[in-house]
Structure 1
């Protein structure tokens, strides 16, 4: 599927950051295919390389803990207001503002086909003790698949329930509150399908309010 060029999407991000100088944006690119040089050129041509956050070299390779991250106010004051993670292909010694996802973030399981399967346990990267909650940014996967003739695809017909703000099993609100309790802090990111369906933003506002 062709969702358009990377540069076109990055220009939208650049316009948003220029128009909103007190906002910080995080991008996560998964299943990345193009060579790193292509990504670097896209950021350079849009000017986003100059707005991107670069962690200290000593914090690469998994040494960046939660307390090491700058605050939003710090990022605004230094005008490093874009954080970009790549799930593969990153090399921070060459392009220091394209961060290797698994050195900074843990995520929950995915490939869920039943609403009662959502978990808060870290699934990637894998740890010896599955109950261990690392001092890293957390990404909670909350999307549902369906199957047809052995092929798995996003379950669009159930999206309003999947992304609901309620507290029933399978709803985003319940999953978010449960993970906040497990982590003893708010999850940093939720990865959703069909985010315009349901009450995803209400859940986000609730997480930020308490």
Structure 2
């Protein structure tokens, strides 16, 4: 049976149409996202101009007193959380950096590498999302060890590096969420102590960029928005983190207040996310950049985030 013969001009047109269709539907990191972190308006907002609600001690999941979350990390991200905080520690006779609550005897949530692999898998599946990690360095490990772990998790392809990397970005110099997404630099990383951008340029010094309000709060009204860390720092020129997670004192031991979490994580009312954000705004003349929470599945966390961002 003879094959159909197309005129050269028609064949050329078909090829052109095919190539155009491929280009239209093929993913590209240079394409502008139509929605960023779930909101079209975030695409044009600077990273430093959005309030993000974050999971405090995000790896420590379960019903025990030392555990701070009910949802695992993937479920936290699926809920809408894009800011994950976690504690790291080192144990003897183990080269791995581990995610441990105060000590690895009390609570060991596994290796940092495993955590990063989970985050990378989620980023792979969600190309229009920017995730931030805030890690603590409780055992003062060299930043090169963190870099090695990020490399082992194969997640460095996503990391954001400021330009120039040797300087601290001013608040108005941060890229927009749309720019972070279009460049494929969708993982922002902070370390509380031990960062050195001359050695590892993508692991940023938390306290060069942020100040924090007091933590381990037992005051249900959250009536304090003062600068707690870094000690003696002025708030001007820094983003800031509100530690809005409530502890309860049991015989001198502070544990997360799971029972009051729905009220602590409410949109409004005494001791709510909204109430403390309003207090901090009145004190610092701007809304917080991050509000860290325990039990992010309790209360109305994403509704509170929308309200703080004027949505």
TM range (shorter): 0.7 to 0.9
**Greater RCO, CA 8 A, separation 6+:** 2
Q: CA deviation at 1:82?
A: 0.7
Q: TM-score, structure 2 length as denominator?
A: 0.61
Pair 1:28-2:134 in alignment: yes
Partner of 2:187: 82
Q: Deviations over 1:37-89 (max 9, x none)?
A: 331112112222221111223423xxx32102111122122211111111122
Q: Deviations over 1:138-180 (max 9, x none)?
A: 1111111111222222122221111111222x12221123323
Instruction: Spell out the pairing of 1:1-210 with structure 2 (5 A cutoff).
Output: 1-33=107-139, 34-55=141-162, 56-60=164-168, 64-127=169-232, 132-168=234-270, 170-209=271-310
Gaps of 5+ in 2: 1-106
SS in 2 for 1:26: strand
Judging changes above 3 Å, is the alpha-carbon distance between structure 1 residues 48 and 32 closer, same or farther for their aligned structure 2 residues? farther
Q: Which has the higher helix share?
A: 1
Do the aligned partners of 2:274 and 2:308 also contact (CA within 8 Å) in 1?
no
1 CA distance for matches of 2:223 and 2:135? 22
Runs (4+) of structure 1 exceeding 4 A deviation are none
Give me the CA root mean square deviation.
Answer: 1.9
Do the aligned partners of 1:139 and 1:187 also contact (CA within 8 Å) in 2?
yes
2 CA distance for matches of 1:58 and 1:22? 28
Rg comparison, structure with higher value: 2
Q: TM-score, structure 1 length as denominator?
A: 0.87
Gaps of 5+ in 1: none
1 CA distance for matches of 2:123 and 2:165? 25
Q: Give aligned pairs, total.
A: 203
1 CA distance for matches of 2:228 and 2:236? 11
